């Protein structure tokens, strides 16, 4: 089968289309023919040698999500049959024509979704679901601040917030992205610019002085202090990315007196049972909302796997809105 | 009635014994004759003008906890009768011969406890209960790192951890305090010294490399980074004090990859319903353990209110072990 391999360390140029042996499913696993995948920042970091794959995952094949169909099912599989459409997240190895997944990790895509649409869903919606609903327990009526709202996770978070009756306030460097986010249900957009953007005051204005009850923070770093200032009493800050840096000066006085909860989170390295729990929650809680038009995948661009370097380059540009999808051409 | 008043700003010298009018209980409140109280760091901060009393509390009478007996009960009170012994936390105003409290905030002291013993319980045990069990959800078999383990909250936390089958690892500057903590159920003590103490490696050794599942941190500041390094994957760090400083440099990479949850918390400024929830949880979950000898108040010293300045001085010395109690002499 064809796969994308990391050969060396560096930028997109380390990615090569290669042949590799097909994986073999275990008794509780399905063998999936991958029709499409999508690019994540973790893939970029892995190319640079900064984010090695967790154990039990191909070390040199990136790719954290997939959409495709079941080719074969292990002897104890009960949820899926050959021919079923499936999608899901993976610890790595999804930039391949085939992969194996535990049957409870693989979920059905929304009815009628194309492979490209389905491939734009798992990482973005699983991450946002897990952070906003499962961990931060976002409730209707609450305000959620979503940084990098035009990203894959950001566009998913804005839609989920809106779908459950919460108020989404998004930040982006680009006014054009903020305009598009309005159509996804974002209530308020804040354009942030410069090295030390100020947005806490605006968030307070938009929340009657209270601040954001929940924050989905993909930035971290030097923006963390200002984000803390934008957070309400008993607010839950979910740190899911570190685009603005891995270190931060934190005002512990604010954290303490406002009783703020700051949680770091990452999906990739979790043990199987936790990944299954998120997949099952997705199937139960979010999948029905795709059918009702409350949620939809947001595709920035779709490219064939032959152009994987271009796709990775595009994600690095910070000019994307939603997901950069990769699809296998027919051989 | 006699009260301790803050007149001016500064150290213990601003505290004066004065006369003040008796408070009047509302329909759901009890009027309590205070037999004893205890000193907290918040009282010191309040003297310095750094920690103003929340609204609805006497602004110039410190004191956050009390033990005494019910003098009179409001018309709708059902839980207490005049003559009942009670204890509890207060937003302030407990350095007085009388105070009022909502009937559901006032709980029964352990049977047979003296007023001094009862006064050593509320802040320490309510805070530790709330942080360790209600918020961090500490479970049997888990390891909890307790900083400043010889403090009032520390001695309570060590006992609660031990009582529920968790492993308490305590830190203190003083070997003598660590020795005494062993008798309270602490499994391991770590003496920390100097401006930048190192203890993470030792905590990892004591936990088979895993780190502390829960941390009760009264220090914060420059020790936070080392504390983070001592925390396990999915660890819950509860920040309840800032003795080591109000700012910290935080490694967000560690927070994210280990999926650590850092929560700031404080009891004093909470709304009534949350304070009642903690008091009721104490009565249900911890009070029975005092009767069985699993928990006990730890009194460093007991002084009459006439010596309130000395008591405050003693707490500032950092040489205390457990609580500094204040009692009213008979007039």
Report pLDDT digits (tens) over A96-127.
Answer: 999 999 999 999 999 999 999 999 999 999 99
Among residues A264, A279, A297, which one ends one of the domains?
A264
What is the rounded distance in angstroms from the CA atom of residue B95 to the CA atom of residue B46? 13
Which among A241, A245, A255 has the least Cβ separation from residue B264? A255
- pTM of the full predicted structure? 0.94
Confidence (pLDDT) at A99: 97
Say how far apart CA A255 and CA A229 lie, in whole Å: 9
- Whole-angstrom Cα distance, residue B33 to residue A310? 76
Separation in Å, CA of B180 to nearest CA in chain A = 29
Size (chain B), residues: 331
- A232: pLDDT strictly greater than 60: yes
**Among candidates A167, A227, A168, A176, which has minimal Cα distance to A197?**
A227
State percent of chain A over pLDDT 70.
Answer: 100
Q: Which of A210, A244, A264 is the last residue of a domain?
A: A264
Residues A249 and A275 in one domain: no
pLDDT, average across residues A65-84: 97
The tokens for B19 are 């006369």
> Over chain B (331 residues), what is each successive 10-residue block's mean pLDDT?
96 96 97 98 92 87 97 97 98 97 97 97 98 98 97 98 98 95 97 90 98 96 94 97 88 94 94 96 97 96 97 94 94 57
| B150 plus B256 within the same structural domain | yes
Q: Are residues A69 and A181 in the same domain?
A: no
Is there a single domain that holds both residue B183 and residue B248?
Answer: yes
Q: Give yes or no for B243 touching A (CB within 8 A).
A: no
Whether residues B195 and B219 fall in one domain: yes
Q: Which contiguous run of DSSP H or E holds residue A65?
A: strand A65-73
Structural domains of chain B, count: 2
pLDDT digits (tens, 9 = 90+) for A170-215: 999 999 999 999 999 999 999 998 888 999 999 999 999 999 999 9
Burial of B284 (0-12, 13-18, 19+ CB in 10 A): exposed
Domain closes at, from A264, A284, A306? A264
List, in order, residues 6 or more apart from A244 with CB less than 8 Å away.
A219, A220, A221, A222, A223, A224
Question: Residue A281: is its pLDDT beyond 90?
Answer: yes
Residue B212 lies inside a defined structural domain of this protein = yes
Query: Is A239 in CB contact (< 8 Å) with chain B?
Result: yes
Q: What is the CATH number of the domain that holds A295?
A: 3.90.180.10
- Note whether A249 and A212 are same-domain residues: yes
Structure confidence at residue A331 (pLDDT): 57
A330 pLDDT higher than 80: no
Q: For B255, which of A255, A264, A269 is closest by C-beta distance?
A: A264
Residues B285 and B253 in one domain: no
pLDDT of residue A318: 87
Residue B315 falls inside a structural domain: yes
Helices (H), chain B: 41-47, 115-119, 122-128, 152-163, 175-182, 200-206, 224-229, 252-257, 272-281, 287-291, 308-316
Helices (H) and strands (E) in chain A, counts: 11, 15
* Same-domain status, A152 and A46: no
Domain identity same for A166 and A193: yes
Domain boundaries, position B59: 2-121+276-327
Q: Which residues of chain B from 292 to 331 reach within 8 Å of chain A, CB to CB? A: none
In a domain, B269, yes or no: no
Tell me, rounded to whole angstroms, the distance of Cα B159 from its chain centroid. Answer: 13
- Is residue A144 domain-shared with residue A251, that is, in the same domain? yes
How much is the pLDDT for A244? 85
Please give the structure tokens belonging to residue A154: 């950001």
ipTM greater than cut 0.90: yes
Q: Decide if B239 is inside a domain.
A: yes
Shared-domain flag, residues B46 and B128 = no
Split at pLDDT 50, 70, 90, the class of A157 is: very high
Over 80: is that where the pLDDT of A168 sits?
Answer: yes
Beta carbons within 8 Å of B329's beta carbon, 6+ residues apart: B304, B305, B306
Confidence (pLDDT) at B325: 98
B26 and B110 part of one domain: yes
A134 near B CB under 8 A: no
Residue B270 lies in a domain: no
């Amino acid at each position: 089968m064809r796969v994308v391999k990391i050969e060396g360390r560096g930028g997109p140029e380390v990615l090569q289309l290669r042949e590799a042996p097909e994986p073999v499913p275990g008794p509780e696993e399905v063998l999936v023919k991958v029709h499409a995948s999508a690019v994540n920042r973790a893939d970029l970091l892995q190319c640079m040698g900064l984010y090695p794959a967790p154990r039990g995952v191909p070390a040199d094949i990136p790719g954290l999500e997939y959409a495709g169909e079941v080719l074969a099912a292990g002897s104890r599989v009960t949820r899926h049959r050959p021919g079923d459409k499936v999608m899901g997240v993976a610890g790595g190895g999804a930039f391949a024509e085939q992969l194996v997944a535990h049957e409870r990790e693989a979920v059905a895509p929304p009815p009628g979704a194309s492979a490209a649409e389905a491939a734009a869903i798992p990482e973005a919606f699983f991450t946002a679901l897990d952070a906003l609903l499962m961990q931060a327990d976002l409730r209707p009526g609450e305000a959620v601040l979503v940084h990098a709202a035009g990203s894959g996770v950001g566009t998913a978070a804005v839609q989920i917030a809106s779908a459950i009756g919460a108020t989404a306030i998004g930040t982006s460097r680009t006014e054009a992205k903020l305009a598009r986010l309005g159509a996804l249900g974002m209530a308020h957009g804040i354009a942030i610019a410069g090295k030390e953007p100020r947005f806490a005051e605006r968030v307070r204005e938009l929340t009657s002085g209270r601040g954001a009850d929940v924050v989905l923070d993909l930035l971290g770093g030097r923006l963390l202090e200002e984000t803390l200032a934008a957070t309400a009493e008993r607010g839950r800050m979910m740190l899911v990315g570190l685009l603005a840096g891995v270190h931060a000066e934190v005002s512990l006085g604010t954290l303490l007196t406002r009783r703020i909860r700051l949680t770091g989170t990452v999906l990739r390295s979790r043990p199987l049972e936790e990944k299954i729990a998120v997949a099952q929650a997705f199937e139960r809680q979010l999948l029905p909302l795709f059918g009702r038009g409350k949620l939809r995948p947001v595709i920035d661009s779709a490219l064939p796997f032959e152009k994987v370097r271009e796709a990775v380059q595009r994600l690095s540009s910070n000019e994307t809105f939603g997901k950069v999808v990769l699809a296998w051409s027919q051989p």
